[in-house]
């Protein structure tokens, strides 16, 4: 059972906007940045969003992140078929000498 809670699945049609939530606690999301990773089938995860809402170079601005309190969200606008992937949130957790925690992942299906 993952420390960060994500919905197991999400879906949308091409062009739609979808959001994926990530819920944590005061020791992780509540006091540290949130990161989002995209994992396409059979590949390694790719950094999508860092420090809550920053995009690495090369990531389209269709992807955006936000954080409020102990929760965070990833939004994907103008949904495309190639966005079908697993999405994971992550954060540093200050408890127990400090460690990273990941969400359980959300499988995004483009209908």
Partner 1 sequence: QITLKESGPTLVKPTQTLTLTCTFSGFSLSTSGVGVGWIRQPPGKALEWLALIYWDDDKRYSPSLKSRLTITKDTSKNQVVLTMTNMDPVDTATYYCAHYDSSGYYDYWGQGTLVTVSS
Cβ atoms of 26 and 66 closer than 8 Å: no
**Binding status of residue 63 toward partner 1 by CB under 8 A:** no
Q: Where does this chain touch partner 1 (CB under 8 A) — which range of 20-28, 32-40, 60-68, 75-83?
A: 32-40
Q: Is 50 near partner 1 (CB under 8 A)?
A: yes
Whichever of 51 and 80 has its CB closer to partner 1, that residue is: 51
Q: What residue ranges bind partner 1 (CB under 8 A)?
A: 2, 33, 35, 37, 39, 44-47, 50-51, 56, 88, 90, 92, 95-105
């Amino acid at each position: 059972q993952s420390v960060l809670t994500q919905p197991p699945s999400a879906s949308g049609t091409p062009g739609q906007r979808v959001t994926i939530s990530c819920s944590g606690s005061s020791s992780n999301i509540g006091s540290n940045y949130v990161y989002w990773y995209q994992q396409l089938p059979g590949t390694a995860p790719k950094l999508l969003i860092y420090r809550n809402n920053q995009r690495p170079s090369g990531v389209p601005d269709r992807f955006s992140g936000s954080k409020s309190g102990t929760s965070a969200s990833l939004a994907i606008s103008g949904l495309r078929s190639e966005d079908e992937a697993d999405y994971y949130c992550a954060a540093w957790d200050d408890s127990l000498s400090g460690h990273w925690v990941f969400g359980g992942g959300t499988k995004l299906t483009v209908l």
